[in-house]
Amino acid sequence: MVTAKQKAKTIPEAMDLTMVEALNRALARAMAEDESVILLGEDIGIDGGVFRATEGLIARFGEARVRDTPLSEALIGGLPVGLAAMGFRPVAEIQFMGFVYPVIDQLVNHASRMRTRTRGRLTCPMVLRAPYGGGIHAPEHHSESTEAMFAHIPGIRVVIPSSPAKAYGLLLSAIRDPDPVVFLEPKRAYRAARESVVDDGGALPLDRCFVTLKGADITLVGWGAMLGEAMEAADILAGEGVEAEVIDVATLKPLDMDSILASVKKTGRCVIVHEAPLTGGFGAEIAARLAGEGLMHLVAPVERVAGWDTVMPLPRLESRYMPSAARIAAAARRALEYA
């Protein structure tokens, strides 16, 4: 018989982790539970990745399962498609989102079509991880936020965590999913905060928004690092007597529009926040669907707070490009003042 003391020892303890540490724990957990999980990417083995998300994993699981690749994003995008078709669950890392474009060919023409091309006989359970977004004063090609491009590809899931706990749970779900997932990690949030995470293998649901803060006056919608700005804006508005509801989209594709509509039905007002350029950003898709499916619930035009329609002006003007809590609060006030 297992005693209560012995049972307690088997229950994982909560740890205060940064997002990058939580990602490392999720990868280790997935690899320990499933031998078909293989990691590949540039410098992910001996060096532990450019942001150290895979640190220590090669020592634990060996070179056969943690593979350093040549400096070829086309290879990093194509190899997991073949591995997935042969029964593996590859997790490929692109060092920065600005380097991801050679992978688009493999995602559009092969990974996203595997299920339909084979009438369901084969699937493509691969995950493509990439740090994205600005805020760390990186050089050119290191601060892109082109998530809308991936969301436009049929057959691809697009997942973006906003906190350590969500990074852990959502990455596990992405690895276990039978279809391809683009998993974008806001590098500004990698070490910005710590959060209690239990390394118990518990996954979070994909394809669902999370209500981060409940409120009745206005809905703030965002994802990734912008959740921090949205929460800060909510604090500013709370000081003015305004209760903001904050929605973390988490999975951009497929989009859980029901949760957003339920919030807007309650509040009647909505501000959408993302750091990608305004024109063609994913916020436009949410705004269009609100116009088509929730128009009768809106009492003010939908506001969008986004990056500017220009290449991010690095490094000195980066902070002027990024949406701020002050800009979000100002947009909320415009919506609240609308008669």
Q: How far is residue 31 from each of residues 54, 140, 216, measured CA to CA in Å?
A: 12, 33, 43
Residue 248 has pLDDT above 70, yes or no: yes
269: domain range? Answer: 210-337
Question: Which CATH number belongs to the domain containing residue 154 in this structure?
Answer: 3.40.50.970
What is the pLDDT, as a whole number, of residue 3? Answer: 53
- Two structure tokens written together for 179: 């279809």
Domain check: are 129 and 277 in the same one? no
Which of 110, 137, 141, 142 is the catalytic position? Answer: 142
Domain check: are 153 and 236 in the same one? no
Domain check: are 165 and 231 in the same one? no
Q: What is the tens place of the pLDDT at every residue in 192-210?
A: 999 999 999 999 999 999 9
Query: Which residues partner with 40 through β-bridges?
Result: 67, 92
**HEC secondary structure over 133-176:** CCCCCCCCCCCCCCHHHHHCCCCCEEECCCCHHHHHHHHHHHHH
What is the pLDDT, as a whole number, of residue 7? Answer: 46
| Whole-structure pTM value | 0.95
Domain check: are 23 and 49 in the same one? yes
Domain check: are 140 and 222 in the same one? no
205 part of a folded domain = no
Q: What is the tens place of the pLDDT at every residue in 96-112?
A: 999 999 999 999 999 99
Domain check: are 268 and 169 in the same one? no
Domain check: are 162 and 27 in the same one? yes
Assess whether 297 carries a catalytic annotation.
no
Side by side, which strands form the sheet with 181-186? 66-68, 37-41, 89-93, 127-132, 181-186, 157-159, 251-253
Q: What is the tens place of the pLDDT at every residue in 225-244?
A: 999 999 999 999 999 999 99
Domain check: are 86 and 121 in the same one? yes
135 part of a folded domain = yes
Q: How many domains does the chain have?
A: 2
